[in-house]
Structure 1
Amino acid sequence: MTALLTEDRDGVRTLTLNRPDAFNSLTVELKEALLAALVAAAADDAVRAVVLTGAGKAFCAGQDLKEHMALLAANDPAPLSTVEAHYNPIVTAITALPKPIIAAVNGMAAGAGASFAYACDLRIAADSAKFLMAFANVGLTADSGASWTLPRLIGYGRAMEMMLLAKPVSAEEALRVGMVTQVVPAAEVLPVAHALAARMAAGPTTAYAKIKEAMLASAGGSLADGLAVEGRTQAEAGRTADHREAVDAFVAKREPGFTGR
């Protein structure tokens, strides 16, 4: 079975974690495939938006602990280096992707799986989905960027509560506190996420990339840093064909036709 499925439609590349019998838990094979797929999507001009989802009933249960334990028992160094080798590059690839990426959270998202969803730009969740920061339950600390992304979504206090108590958060609660963008019935998660991604795939791709760049820089920087990045990225976006098209369309009172350039 292929650990990661890829589908292209309407300018949207859908990446599906495909280990449903193991709740899409993350093996070395799946982590390497996901990282390679994100890098490829970033470089492909035909891909103007990305959806990340899971096969079956779960989005992603996080690290595959069976593989993890087997490697530890064999004194393999891989488990101790997977954050640096896999999780950090994956989260960097998600946040730096120069096009929108939407998490279609079709079920449980735990550990690194939840962290991947937090790193995405938008999150569409099934009404049956749950989010769980389970690191403390296995004697570990946060990884995959969750200590940075989660407090920025829901605040320091709530994020600390999730980390320390490892208490699942329902989709309804996740929506209330701002963890997710929208909650829909489980059967509608992927269609809704794809429709949103397709709408954005028809939009000004370079502008989206510059918005992401400015937001990411400002999230961890000073006002002066944020203003500097805004100034540079605004000038870069202003030189695009999409900006000229949008202004022409506004003056002519017609809908713009964006090409992503």
Structure 2
Amino acid sequence: MDGTMSGVGIDIRDDGLARVTLRRGDAGNAIDLTTARGLLDAATACERSGVRAVLLSGEGRSFCVGGDLREFARFEGEALEQHLLAVTGALHEALRVFARLDAPMVAAVQGAVAGAGIGLAAAADVTLAADDASFTAAYTGIGYSPDAGVSWFLPRLAGPKRALDLLLTNRRIPASEAVEIGLVSRTVAAGLLADEAARTAEVLRDGPAGAFGATRRLVAAGLTADLGPHLDREARALAAAARGEEGREGVAAFLGKRPPAFRSAASPF
């Protein structure tokens, strides 16, 4: 499947890798209503296709500079409120769909990353940033509060004090500090970002999709769960994985001293 959905490109390959690309590079990939709906369409397509990995990127100089303020400024009063509810409704549902996939998501971020762009970067399981990228929350600078999960992700990644520092002061931080606070997994030389992100996504595509999905859910649940119930959840997930095709293939490959063939064990791709 290959196409463009309202400013968002979606390319779902026969090998199970989905490339989701923000295609408003001339506008810094700012999120307007059509782009938010395009992200939801792309997430839904990934879910329906049962993809094995997702690579999220943005065309142009910047990954995503946040909401499209030029579009927002065309509305006033209740019309503005309703418009923003429509934008965030589609964007937030896209994040929910991506979060419940078994497929891990890799984000490749470059240039300026602001507002909802931070939420998209934080939502990925592995976030690679160009070494010259920069990040700023930006919301309160225009009198807005956060969306795109930013007020949920940042305190969990950076801690509440650092999160509030970034959210209240709108301090711009370099990619190196974004790694330090946990917003970014690692930095890559700007010229190598696209290749390294693709390589990382391809490695994940070839991994055990079911185990990846269980791991994503365990990590998310563990952030708020008590230890005792979480240990029980881990035990059940491990037992289920061990008796499944992927678990059997993984152990057989280990004992046979060969690479595992997970894709044939657990995917239509």
- Contact in 2 for aligned 1:5/1:18 (Cα 8 Å): yes
Superposition deviation, residue 209 in structure 1: 0.3
Match of 1:170 among 168, 174, 178: 174
Superposition deviation, residue 253 in structure 1: 1.6
Counterpart-to-counterpart distance in 1, 2:135 and 2:223: 23
TM-score by length of 2: 0.90
Partner of residue 46, structure 2? 41
SS of aligned partner of 1:104:
strand
The alignment status of 1:22 with 2:23, answered yes or no, reads no
Which string of whole-angstrom CA distances, capped at 9 and with x for unpartnered residues, describes residues 7-65 of structure 1? 345532111100011100001101001011112112213x2100111000010111101
Counterpart-to-counterpart distance in 2, 1:96 and 1:72: 35
Counterpart-to-counterpart distance in 2, 1:83 and 1:219: 28
In structure 2, list runs of 5 or more residues that go unmatched. Answer: none
Question: Which amino acid is the alignment partner of residue 35 of structure 2?
Answer: L
TM-score by length of 1: 0.93
Counterpart-to-counterpart distance in 2, 1:237 and 1:72: 52
The alignment status of 1:50 with 2:54, answered yes or no, reads yes
Identity %: 34
Counterpart-to-counterpart distance in 1, 2:92 and 2:224: 17
- Contact in 2 for aligned 1:95/1:121 (Cα 8 Å): no
Superposition deviation, residue 242 in structure 1: 1.0
CA RMSD of aligned residues (A): 1.9
Q: 1:69 to 1:42 in 2, by over 3 A?
A: same
Counterpart-to-counterpart distance in 2, 1:80 and 1:106: 26
Query: Which moved further from structure 2: 19-28 or 3-12?
Result: 3-12
Superposition deviation, residue 174 in structure 1: 1.3
Partner of residue 150, structure 1? 154
Superposition deviation, residue 76 in structure 1: 4.8
Question: Which amino acid is the alignment partner of residue 36 of structure 1?
Answer: D
Q: 1:56 to 1:83 in 2, by over 3 A?
A: closer
SS of aligned partner of 1:58:
coil
Kindly tell me the number of residue pairs found equivalent between the two proteins. 260
Q: 1:88 to 1:224 in 2, by over 3 A?
A: farther
Counterpart-to-counterpart distance in 2, 1:11 and 1:94: 15
Query: Which moved further from structure 2: 216-225 or 166-175?
Result: 216-225
SS of aligned partner of 2:79:
coil
SS of aligned partner of 2:135:
strand
Partner of residue 11, structure 2? 7
SS of aligned partner of 2:157:
helix
Q: 1:201 to 1:124 in 2, by over 3 A?
A: same
Superposition deviation, residue 84 in structure 1: 5.2
